[in-house]
Amino acid sequence: MGRLNTTLCGIGLDNPVIPASGTFGYGYEFAEWYDINILGTFSFKGTTKDPRFGNPTPRIAECTAGMINAVGLQNPGVEAVIREELPKLKKVFHKPVMANVSGFSVADYAYTCEKLDKEDTVGWLEVNVSCPNVHGGGMSFGTDPKAAAQVTKAVRKVTKKPVIVKLSPNVTDIVAVAKACEAAGADGISLVNTLLGMRIDVKTRKPVIANTMGGFSGPAIFPVALRMVYQVANAVKIPVVGMGGVSSAEDVLEMLLAGAVAVEVGCANLIDPLACKTIIEELPAVMDRYDIETVSEIIGGVRHG
């Protein structure tokens, strides 16, 4: 094994860096910038059973140390993803990809996951029960342990590939939700999705995005995300994928020390399309600086006292 290698739910990764869903399209868009096969893997754009136009515009706005978005899961629907997007991806990416799935009912999640589970391009199913930007689905499942478990159980019944449940930070007890998903058959947990946030334009006196509230992401949320990753990694026996405000090689190492086996990078990709490439290239030198020989040796290695 190389010094950057890690394993996620039994599947080896060349390195722990994974572009997060919603920030990397279906991959081939970024292949115009660099060889995306240097990535550990990536999580493609959130996919639902039926096509979605998404929320009204404006739906993205910059704010201090981050951004607010309420895209609303715009996507062509699972049938079109399988028919059109995955063949294009396969031409430029030669590793298993993480399929991110959202839904508005338990049946929606099960249907979409069952379809994607059959695709040889897909290595993992990242089941998003945490999107704060849609009504009647998404985060409503992720804030209730019983509802999150219900989705997990339904997906597990119709799939063979690893199921990783993506959790919301907009809860009082993240551990309770994670443990409920683990008990229902999840193979891994990824966290955190965006925090629910809002900004107002003082000049117009209107919210800066049409949806009023949206997902707040970026460096400002990193300490909250790190805390939750640490809590969950110490409470469950399944692998944890950490994310939330990650923008540097040092951030990746912090997430690993907190207990993550891999790390997703989100908002940074929207600021700099080469963000993940840069992080991967800088990791060995940063590891040398801290006398770290391999990624695997520091997972969960935070010290106390």
DSSP H/E element including 67: strand 66-69
Query: What is the C-alpha to C-alpha distance for residues 270 and 249, in angstroms, rounded to an integer?
Result: 17
CB 76 within 8 A of CB 15: no
What letter does residue 163 receive in the DSSP assignment? E
The amino acid present at 3, given as its one-letter code, is R
| DSSP three-state, residue 139 | helix
Tell me, rounded to whole angstroms, the distance of Cα 300 from its chain centroid: 19
Alpha helices in 121-212 (DSSP H): 139-142, 145-158, 174-183
**Block residue for tokens 């993205």:** 60
304 SS3 class: coil
Supply the angle between the helices 145-158 and 174-183 in degrees, to the nearest 10.
30
Angle between helices 249-258 and 275-289 (to 10 degrees): 70
Catalytic machinery residues: 131
Instruction: Residue 218: name the closest of 60, 32, 71, 103 by CA.
Output: 60
Of 136, 120, 115, 130, nearest in space to 164 by CA: 130
SS3 88: helix
Give the amino acid at 158: V
Query: Which residue's entry shows tokens 């399309």?
Result: 273
